[in-house]
Chain A
Amino acid sequence: MRKVYFLIPLLATSLFAEDSRIDALEKAVKSAQSAGDNAWMLVSAALVLMMTGPGLALFYGGLVRRKNVLSTMMHSFVLMAVVTMLWAIFGYSVAFGEWTPFFGGGQYLFLNGVGTAPNDAYAGTIPQQTFMVYQLMFAVITPALISGAFAERMKFSGMLLFTVLWTSIVYFPMAHMVWGKGGLLNASLGGKIPCFDFAGGTVVHITSGISALICALYLGPRKGYGVDPMRPHNLVFSTVGACLLWVGWFGFNAGSALSASGLATSAFVATHFGAAAAALSWLFAEWVVSGKPSMLGGISGAVAGLVAITPASGFVKPFPAILIGAAAGVFCYFMVSAVKRRFNYDDSLDAFGVHGAGGTLGAILTGVFATKAVNDVWNGKPMGWVDGNAGQMLNQLVGCAIALVLAAVATWIILRVCDAVTGVRAEEEHEIEGLDLSLHGEEGYNFEA
């Protein structure tokens, strides 16, 4: 008995110690999770930037003629700098502020209040600055994708003005509608018409793809289109670029989980499976139709698959991902070969045929295959058609339609404005000489140097 009496004060102190030990443990767990998530999100941000430069710069640079290689790479590269400035001043605020369903407003102007503390509305375990810089990389690549449609014939000044206005008027509001808190189409943060778009099928690919088509139509074909040979000058570049896009896309899609979680893994797997299936389906379609499987076909297919799986990546299981990819490869091949020829528009590098078409297909198929078994955003309620919620198809279509109309109308108006201010089409002699020499005063290949 004496022993027990002796233990009472000891027990009291140890209970007290237990409480503070649990506190310390919880703190440690939280900080460990935050460290893990932040590490993955910073890597993802870097991966997404790598998609624009060097990924897209090489992919597009290789597809143009030798005389335009630098001007084409410049389109991608310069946007890495230009969009960053816009993002810092007002872009982040318009996209991720919480003012109206269409427009984020001014609460984060000049990155006011965007520090190392998390923003719980979006990602509660990582510094808001990580979230901000990650989302910036999406804003960088989206206008760069459009450049595929006006490559080899757009004035640099016109291109700068166009992309500044386009990013401000189309991209920032669209990003707000789909991803911003209270945005019209937001699926998890109180949108009126919830539309599933995990990593940017509507925001990135439909907007850029449709705008690309409008640019191609507005600018008209390149001089000599359909008569002069316009073969890609270096498919080795394009292959390296496409493979960098493929790898970077893991940051784009798996990073969109905003944490180093099982959801990120699931999106990573879906992304990879979609790309692989699409590379094969394009290759085989081409093999059947034109007799030979080409390197360009393989990489175009992979990119088409990556585009289509983007909105679905965080909502679908691996085999639906393969189906989405396989469908995208064949569909985009048909768009760039048969449809482009039939209507005879000069989408130089097929920004519309791959991103517009693949993005739309992906957004629609996301409505079919999104399932709570992968990402239960509605707390047990059915999500896509496979869950029994066929009505989601309508929401997906509305999302596509809004992106399509906003992008098409705004792009047309912006082009008219740019035409009046700087001009958009390069002068004929400049186009003949090559934009590298005439607009930038340099050449990509100086073999005698």
Chain B
Amino acid sequence: MKKIEAIIQPHKLEEVKEAVKAIGIDGMTIAEVRGHGRQKGHKEIYRGMEYQVDLLPKIKVEIVVADARLDELIRTLVAAARTGKIGDGKIFVFDVADAIRIRNDDRGEAAL
């Protein structure tokens, strides 16, 4: 099993959700996060005081899938979240040791 953590633009969340659902992957967890990669932040001015805002709002999407479905998921995610501009985000992939469904003790891919 693999876990992906995708950091995406907040306004792309709906498209990503729909696309992932369309390929039959049902589970995801999201969080509102702030961060930056190479993208520069922006400037805000309050009564003449300038503030450089480096950490921008992003959405982190976490999804765990069977190994066999990883490539398809990544292709789907990239297609849905891409605008082609700096700031589109990144996807990180991790190995997952096990998964347990709390309701009935299902384990491994059966628990996904």
Interface size on A, residues (CB 8 A): 19
B47 touches A336 (CB 8 A): yes
Is A229 part of the binding interface, using a Cβ–Cβ cutoff of 8 Å? yes
CB-CB contacts below 8 Å: A329-344 with B: 333, 336-338, 340-341
B45 touches A231 (CB 8 A): no
A229 touches B47 (CB 8 A): no
B47 touches A297 (CB 8 A): yes
A290 touches B46 (CB 8 A): no
Contact with B48, one of A229, A230, A290 (Cβ below 8 angstroms): A290
B44 touches A290 (CB 8 A): no
| Chain B residues whose C-beta falls within 8 Å of the C-beta of A350 in the assembled complex | 47
A388 to B112, CA, bound (A): 88
Task: Give the A-B pair count, Cβ closer than 8 A.
Answer: 30
A95 to B46, CA, bound (A): 38
Chain A residue nearest to B48 (CB atoms) is A337
Interface string of B17-54 (1 = CB under 8 A from A): 00000000000000000000000000011111101010
Is A300 part of the binding interface, using a Cβ–Cβ cutoff of 8 Å? yes
A34 to chain B, nearest CB (A): 46
Chain B residue nearest to A332 (CB atoms) is B47
Interface size on B, residues (CB 8 A): 8
B42 to chain A, nearest CB (A): 11
A338 to B47, CA, bound (A): 10
| Chain B residues whose C-beta falls within 8 Å of the C-beta of A297 in the assembled complex | 47
B45 touches A229 (CB 8 A): no
A300 to B49, CA, bound (A): 14
A338 to B53, CA, bound (A): 22
Is A112 part of the binding interface, using a Cβ–Cβ cutoff of 8 Å? no
A297 to B45, CA, bound (A): 10
A229 to B44, CA, bound (A): 10
A230 to B45, CA, bound (A): 11
B53 touches A337 (CB 8 A): no
A341 to B46, CA, bound (A): 12
B45 to chain A, nearest CB (A): 5
Contact with A296, one of B46, B51, B53 (Cβ below 8 angstroms): B46
Most chain A CB neighbours (cut-off 10 Å) among B44, B48, B49, B51: B48
CB-CB contacts below 8 Å: A298-349 with B: 300, 333, 336-338, 340-341
B48 touches A231 (CB 8 A): no
A294 touches B45 (CB 8 A): yes
| Chain A residues whose C-beta falls within 8 Å of the C-beta of B51 in the assembled complex | 229, 231
Interface string of A268-299 (1 = CB under 8 A from B): 00000000000000000010011010101100
Is A232 part of the binding interface, using a Cβ–Cβ cutoff of 8 Å? yes
Residues of chain B at the chain A interface (Cβ within 8 Å): 44-49, 51, 53
Residues of chain A at the chain B interface (Cβ within 8 Å): 229-232, 286, 289-290, 292, 294, 296-297, 300, 333, 336-338, 340-341, 350
Sorted nearest first, the 9 A-B pairs with minimum C-beta distance are A337-B48, A336-B47, A229-B51, A290-B45, A231-B51, A296-B46, A232-B46, A231-B46, A337-B47
- 13 A-B contact pairs sorted by A residue (CB < 8 Å): A229-B53, A231-B44, A231-B46, A232-B46, A286-B48, A290-B45, A296-B46, A297-B47, A333-B48, A337-B48, A337-B49, A341-B49, A350-B47
